[in-house]
Amino acid sequence: MNDLIFRLDPALQHLLARAAELAPAIDATVWLVGGVVRDLLLELPIGRDIDLAVEGDVNQLASILAEAWGGQIAARHPPFGTATIVIDQWVIDLAQTRTERYPHPAVLPEVQPAPIALDLHRRDYSINAMAIRLAAAHGQLVPMPLFDLLGGVADLADRRLRLLHSQSLRDDPTRMLRGVRLASRLNLIPDEATAAQIDDALKAGYLALLTPERIQTELCLTLAEPDPAAVVALADRWGMTHQLIPGLGWTPALTDRLARYRRDEYGIAPLAPAEVVIAGLLLYDLSDTELAMVLQRYHLPTAIRDLINDLIRLRRLTAAIVAATSPSELDHTLQPYGVATIAVLHYATDTPIPQLTARYLHEWRFLRPPLNGDDLRELGVAPGPQLGRLLRELRAATLDGLVTDRIAAEQWVRQQLATSSS
């Protein structure tokens, strides 16, 4: 396993080799740690987030590396010995190797510098507690053995999710949320002790001790998963979902609508961000009161907050959508709502709504009348409320096929003016 690091992108290898060459000047040692090492072992694609553990002065090393790499220091947190450098497509997090002490459940830890071996022991799961020391010669990384004190390789081979110490979830309940994402994504099964700890932590209500901001960060990471629906389904089986969002649970209806989203028979999926639509589908069955509680508790991204507010109103209009007798009537109902909200309604409801929403999203919302405001002014319409009303009515007539070309549109405008003046 000495060649694992050579599976990285060559440009990233170059950055890490430079770090390995510069660190000894300040008596520092740098290790590649965490999810990147795990994914290298599994031969999975490596994301943009790279974790480096530093035995030494992180603050000083961050300044040296940012200058050498031509990157930007995006964040520094001296009390925790961490810094973040953004360079090209990578976000590289540096953290001083440390021990942690949690004075109370679910609070941020008190940290003390420590060697890499102790740093790995304080981590969450064995599969995240492996490291590779960075070493370089002549500007190139050199092979280094995998540092696996805690059996992460064996657990990966056996598809086992194993917590590293008995107070892990008391100290940091977000580890439950990371664990369910890992278990879903990598098809892992908690060992007996880990399963018992999860059950005990849920019964003790540790998730409720977390700040909304910390839970929200984990929920957003869930939406970024390759299959966020599978994560929620597993979290529901573990008994977590109702502690995160009251009313949220896995149901056959949710299974069906997410299956419709994956099939995407009408080609709606590319029209809106996947994480926003999936969030809406997961939340669709919550009551108005429960959705309002989500808005109150979490400081959500604007796109998801807007979707929830729209969803509360739009899902009351399903009868009006079905009863619409013309494209213009449907347009009048749907026009105030964003594409993502309409896409959620499309996948969450049965025939005939999906056919109607598909035509609206692909065709009718783009339809423009043959004449614009300047054209109407040339026909004698004065600027003001009448012009706006005629433009709206002309668009409706175009949607309904009553006006098909410029000549017909001009005739329609003249008839409206004649009618209004008589």
pLDDT digits (tens, 9 = 90+) for 287-298: 999 999 999 999
CA–CA distance from 367 to each of 185, 202, 329, 394, 403 (Å)?
Answer: 42, 52, 14, 11, 12
Show Cβ contacts of residue 277 under 8 Å, excluding neighbours closer than 6 positions.
Answer: 261, 269, 340, 343, 344, 347
β-pairing, 90-96 vs 49-55, is parallel
| Mean pLDDT per 10-residue section of the chain, whose length is 422 residues | 88 97 97 96 94 96 96 92 95 95 84 94 96 95 96 97 95 95 97 97 93 91 89 94 92 90 95 94 95 93 95 96 96 96 96 95 95 93 92 95 94 89 65
The pLDDT of residue 169 = 95
Q: pLDDT tens across 212-241, in order?
A: 999 999 988 998 898 888 999 999 999 999
Q: What angle do CA 199, 215, 182 make, to 5 degrees?
A: 60
Q: What is the CA radius of gyration of the chain?
A: 28
The pLDDT of residue 359 = 96
DSSP track, 190-232? E-HHHHHHHHHHHHHTGGGGS-HHHHHHHHHHHHTSSSHHHHH
User: Distance between CA atoms of 317 and 334, rounded to whole angstroms?
Assistant: 9
User: Distance between CA atoms of 25 and 12, rounded to whole angstroms?
Assistant: 21
> Each residue of 268-280: b (16+ CB within 10 Å) or e?
beeebbebbbbbb
Q: How many residues does the chain have?
A: 422
Tracing tokens 């008596």 back to the chain, one arrives at 27
The pLDDT of residue 1 = 66
Q: Are 63 and 83 in contact, with CB atoms under 8 Å apart?
A: no
User: Distance between CA atoms of 176 and 261, rounded to whole angstroms?
Assistant: 28
The pLDDT of residue 420 = 77
Q: Are 100 and 110 in contact, with CB atoms under 8 Å apart?
A: yes
User: Distance between CA atoms of 284 and 276, rounded to whole angstroms?
Assistant: 12
The pLDDT of residue 67 = 96
If you ran DSSP here, which 8-state letter would residue 251 be given?
-
Tokens, residue 193: 């002790």
Dihedral over alpha carbons 73, 76, 80, 84 (to 10 degrees)? -20
User: Distance between CA atoms of 56 and 44, rounded to whole angstroms?
Assistant: 30
pTM of this structure: 0.84
Q: Are 46 and 36 in contact, with CB atoms under 8 Å apart?
A: yes
The pLDDT of residue 422 = 60
The pLDDT of residue 343 = 98
